[in-house]
Amino acid sequence: MKLHGWIDAYLSYLRVERALAKNTLEAYGRDLSGLAAHVGDVEPAEIGEGEISSLLAANVRAGFGARSSARQLSGLRGFFKFLVRERVIPVDPSALAERPKLGRRLPKVLSFEDIERLLAAPDLTTTRGVRDAAMIQLMYASGLRVTELVTLRVGDVDMKRGVVTPIGKGEKGRLVPVGEVALQHLQVYLDAVRPLTAKPNVHWLFLSRRGGRMGRQGFWKLLRRYAKVAAITAPLSPHKLRHSFATHLLRGGADLRAVQAMLGHADLGTTEIYTHMTSDHVRAAHARSHPRA
């Protein structure tokens, strides 16, 4: 069987054995099609380190960015490991290929002034505004992911202790403290608004107007609506609120490991990206204030 046949076999393996999502499978298919277009429908054993290097060089000439080339190389390595496991080839020809260096992309955050305007945007004289304010206040106060926010249950909020217990990636739960202001908004929502739409045996914390669970897309839409009210011109997403939470905590002197625990990061290195942003903030403050700056 030649290269095209083994690519089909690998994609079938990913679909059946690994149960990868459709979009992920399509991305792998595109990357492997790029390899096949470059070397032809050859025997896999005919592909060596030179062919992999020339493919990556051709990517650069075609205008591929470092991130795209790195992603393709990662996909190729998975394919060749599969071929080694199936004893089609003796060694992985991509193993020694140098991974393109990626620039560190710093997450974009809102200024504290933007946050203040966003938090003040919902109309608290309406039931919808009370719910929306509780959601936005909680997200900024706790740094939850949007999925964690909309899948919270009433029992996941401990008002007395001032903590929420979201279920994060890998079905791992964690305790996250919540500030007093956000708790006050939550209490008003729980007392005066949620009972108006809550149905028996529905335990989701945040409900739609029909009484079902508030969805990810619904929260995205309300956030964009309030961004316009708050005159925030930069694109706003739930994840930008999470980035803002982490950055503002560190600028206020929070411990890095405490922020890691609140965000639910398994690796401290993931959290450390925010220290680069706070370092920029410190340097800017020094440049503004120091007489010899």
Residue numbers annotated as active site: 145, 169, 239, 242, 265, 274
CB 118 within 8 A of CB 232: yes
